[in-house]
Structure 1
Amino acid sequence: MTAGILLIGPLLRYAADPFATPWSDAVRIDTEGAVLLRDGRIAQVGQAPALIAANPQARQVRYSADHLICPGFVDAHVHYPQTAIIASWGKRLIDWLNSYTFPEEMRLADPDYAGEIAARYLDLVLAEGTTTVASYCTIHPHSVDAFFEAAAARGMAVVAGKTCMDRNAPEGLRDTPQSAYDDSNALIGRWHGRGRATYAITPRFSPTSTPEQLAALGALWQAHPGCLMQTHLSEQTDEIAWVRGLYPQARDYLDTYEAHGLLGDRAVYGHAIHLEPREIDRLSETGAALVHCPTSNTFIGSGLFDLAGLSARGVPLGLATDTGGGSSFSMLRTMAAAYEIGQLRGTPLHAAQLVWLATAGSARSLHLQGRIGSIESGHDADLAVLNLASSPAIAQRHARAADMWESLFATIMMGDDRAIADVWVSGRQVRARP
């Protein structure tokens, strides 16, 4: 057994869900904390003096009082193939797909380009302190291979799947019900549970799948119930009207999935802004997760997610950048946008709730809560260390802060990649700032 690496400094710990328990009881910052990393996992967590005494041979990495050791960020809904078109101007969802997304996804028909974008994307998010993502790929099976291979080379825990579409997409981006089933089934056999990889069966959304394809993917999920199932739900009002026309027998948008076996406790739906009461009831009853994508929802003009209301119903919630409909790779920026949307809805979030969403909440939505998302003994050693005085503007606010929570909030609202002092993935340091 190796002596390990002992990280010493202020440490963020979770005792409960801060949406179900007062945040002051659920989340704490231990100003004299330490965490021992050994063989890719968190071996011990506690007070620095005790862990130093108990592990005299461990290599020590000390962080100053203006730093904060956090779980690595978990981005629960992204499209890595859209990396190169992030921050493209001015389109609604359906126009966005036709003008930007589909032409770019066609380029990933080239395996070399898919590999290049996968590597570029993962390096960009690691620089932002994100250690796990759940990504849609393209219809090309090699786009999934490229993503999982790039993640494995970096030691990252990721979720991904082949995006399935058999209508309302360009010819070069359409598959069939049978090929969607066969390709996805082969990819599950190749990747699900291999290393740190999790497979997600991935219909893009109901408008781009026929009922026959959704039924085929529902049958595939029934055959592989340990996989996740990820898709989109009720992002924009014109999208919902489109779904209503394509599925006239459905009670609502969620029913287009439910009727084909694509609703369950391992389902993960992105956006979910304009939900009907029946949909909320069914999501609450089944334990399916929803992912809040605040920068995307504002950038594409989708609407204001009801985080407080859905949390009160017990729906598992995650947080995501939604690259590239979202306008940033940064989970700090995403937390800031979630705060701003909360303000617009009259339910502002505390820093403790925001950082929990970006770590433990997203991990729970992906059914990875026993492995990542919080700093606990036995968890994988994925950590992000924040510098709470990373720029002149933030440093002057930090100097006036009454406590660490005020400092953390200022970094959430104003921070960028300069605030990421260090990143550890599987116990290996992958990014360090002087």
Structure 2
Amino acid sequence: MTIVRATFLDTPTGETAMGAELRAATDAALRVVDGTIVERGAWADLGGRHTDDDVLDLRDGLVLPGLVDTHVHYPQVRVTGALGMPLLEWLDAVALPEEARLASPDYARAVAREFIGGLAGAGTTTALVFGSHFATAVDALFDEAQRVGLRVTAGLVVGDRGLPEALLTTPERAYAESIALARRWHQSAGAGSSPRTRYAVTPRFSYGATDALLESCQAVLKDVPGSWFTSHVNESQAEIAAVARLFPDATDYVDTYDRHGLVGASSVLAHNVHPTDRELRLLAGQGATVAHCPTSNAALGSGLFPLRAHVDHGVHVALGSDVGAGTGFSLFKEGLQAYFVQQLLGEAGLPLGPADLLHLATRSGALALGLDDEVGDLSVGKAFDALWLRPAETSPLALALRHADSASEALARTFALAGPADVAGVWVAGEPVKS
């Protein structure tokens, strides 16, 4: 048994980030037993009643829930920061050639170490990950996630047109390889699986898929109970136009997935920068989530995310870093950029406060991934998935925090200034991930 003593900030209530309420507790304590928070209260109370427990003293900083990234690309970690190109040009020139290199198991293992290390170093404890086009590389990803201890939902990325030859598959092969991976790694797959890993059916995007491939994806989703679905949608105007040409019978981009039974409560679609009202109504009605990836949208010039339209239609939204079009693993940076986007939209934007940003980076992601009973905040009954922010004394964040007049102000300054260098510790289910 361990008592964690710290200042805790989280947003334990609400289904959406908008209007989130910040819960702040100073010199408070959480009692953690077998990785689960079993008591929460003042340090004076819990410390006095459980004198034989170990004490983890994290008062020198802030403790937040582990961050939840709902869209991030494992094979692209080494090409982060290639600027100056729109989406389709960037894919052809930068991302896809790099992804082809993961055909080498040794290369894939090295990238997996860098990728999982990047997530953990940024305080991300749970992630919905775009895997690789190669089954051996997906194995390497899950192996490393299991070794480090992160919660990862991921799968084989599949496409059967519009991609380099090395990345193409067939509907039959996509189904067979996906089922084999799910048997090894999905939490309900039996012996050898890890409860922290789950399988995600992952067509790259409709631009790279035929109806037959999307039908095979639906078959995997049906045949792997509890699996997730993720892909891209409405990221750029050029991509949307190309998808419309490839699927002339589809009503819109979302329909290319929905007509195959791929849009539902276990679906997370990334970007959706340019949705129609019909698509928003459908996503809301099916209970799907949109992963908002603001640094990627800005870097590729894809557009400004219409958060107000999503909220008005009842579409759930969480945050994604979208490494490598996104500019790093830190969800603090993504939260700050999300704030900027809504500011730039003026009256069409939806203002975000500090608690909204924390909710987007934690509880919103847990809800999106169906893990809100386990993670996303620091309530009794949840796993102790947490990060400890302790910036160096001379850092801008440390200076800003020393002069913050309230917990909300401290949180605002955290999103404005925090990065991986300020993360001093990370825990998943009470186990240290980064010391």
Partner of 2:290: 290
Choose which of 44, 48, 53 in structure 1 pairs with 2:43.
Answer: 48
1:380 is paired with a residue whose SS is coil
Choose which of 12, 17, 21 in structure 1 pairs with 2:9.
Answer: 12
Q: Which moved more, 1:240-249 or 1:118-127?
A: 118-127
Cα deviation per residue 1:374-423 (whole Å; 9 max; x = unaligned)? 11223222101123676442333333322121122112111222321221
Choose which of 128, 134, 141 in structure 1 pairs with 2:128.
Answer: 134
2:257 is paired with a residue whose SS is helix
Cα deviation per residue 1:111-131 (whole Å; 9 max; x = unaligned)? 111111111111122111111
Report if the CA contact (8 A) 1:35-1:44 is conserved.
yes
Alignment of 1:299-318 (within 5 A): 299-318=299-318
Task: Sort the Cα spacing of 1:15 and 1:393 in 2 relative to 1 into closer, same or farther, 3 A.
Answer: closer
Alignment of 1:29-428 (within 5 A): 29-64=24-59, 67-193=61-187, 194-195=193-194, 196-346=196-346, 347-387=350-390, 391-428=394-431
2:432 is paired with a residue whose SS is strand
Report if the CA contact (8 A) 1:73-1:359 is conserved.
yes
Divergent runs of 4+, >6 A: none
Structure 1 alignment gaps of length 5 or more: none
- Following TM superposition, by how much is the alpha carbon of 1:18 offset from its aligned partner in structure 2, in angstroms? 7.5
Q: Which moved more, 1:391-400 or 1:181-190?
A: 391-400
For 1:335 and 1:159, locate their aligned partners in 2 and report how far apart those are by CA, in whole Å.
22
Cα deviation per residue 1:27-66 (whole Å; 9 max; x = unaligned)? 21111321122222223222222211232111112223x6
- Following TM superposition, by how much is the alpha carbon of 1:242 offset from its aligned partner in structure 2, in angstroms? 0.3
For 2:83 and 2:316, locate their aligned partners in 1 and report how far apart those are by CA, in whole Å.
32
Cα deviation per residue 1:174-220 (whole Å; 9 max; x = unaligned)? 00011111111111111110321011000010010111101111122
1:10 is paired with a residue whose SS is strand
Report if the CA contact (8 A) 1:388-1:411 is conserved.
no
- Residue type of the partner of 2:370? H
RMSD (Å), alpha carbons: 1.6
For 1:22 and 1:80, locate their aligned partners in 2 and report how far apart those are by CA, in whole Å.
33
- Following TM superposition, by how much is the alpha carbon of 1:297 offset from its aligned partner in structure 2, in angstroms? 0.6
Report if the CA contact (8 A) 1:74-1:373 is conserved.
yes
TM-score by length of 2: 0.94
1:121 is paired with a residue whose SS is helix
For 1:167 and 1:173, locate their aligned partners in 2 and report how far apart those are by CA, in whole Å.
9
Task: Sort the Cα spacing of 1:138 and 1:423 in 2 relative to 1 into closer, same or farther, 3 A.
Answer: same
- Residue type of the partner of 2:27? E
- Residue type of the partner of 2:258? E
For 2:74 and 2:31, locate their aligned partners in 1 and report how far apart those are by CA, in whole Å.
32
- Following TM superposition, by how much is the alpha carbon of 1:107 offset from its aligned partner in structure 2, in angstroms? 0.7
Aligned length: 426
1:169 is paired with a residue whose SS is coil
For 2:41 and 2:18, locate their aligned partners in 1 and report how far apart those are by CA, in whole Å.
22
Structure 2 alignment gaps of length 5 or more: 188-192
Cα deviation per residue 1:318-353 (whole Å; 9 max; x = unaligned)? 101100010111111111111111211232211111
For 2:83 and 2:114, locate their aligned partners in 1 and report how far apart those are by CA, in whole Å.
22
For 1:302 and 1:176, locate their aligned partners in 2 and report how far apart those are by CA, in whole Å.
30
Report if the CA contact (8 A) 1:390-1:415 is conserved.
no
Task: Sort the Cα spacing of 1:225 and 1:264 in 2 relative to 1 into closer, same or farther, 3 A.
Answer: farther
Report if the CA contact (8 A) 2:17-2:364 is conserved.
no
2:426 is paired with a residue whose SS is strand
For 1:342 and 1:17, locate their aligned partners in 2 and report how far apart those are by CA, in whole Å.
21
- Residue type of the partner of 1:130? T
Report if the CA contact (8 A) 1:317-1:357 is conserved.
yes
Cα deviation per residue 1:57-97 (whole Å; 9 max; x = unaligned)? 11112223x62211111111010100101101321111111
For 1:37 and 1:430, locate their aligned partners in 2 and report how far apart those are by CA, in whole Å.
16
1:371 is paired with a residue whose SS is coil
- Residue type of the partner of 1:168? G
Partner of 2:433: 430
% of aligned pairs identical? 36
- Following TM superposition, by how much is the alpha carbon of 1:222 offset from its aligned partner in structure 2, in angstroms? 2.2
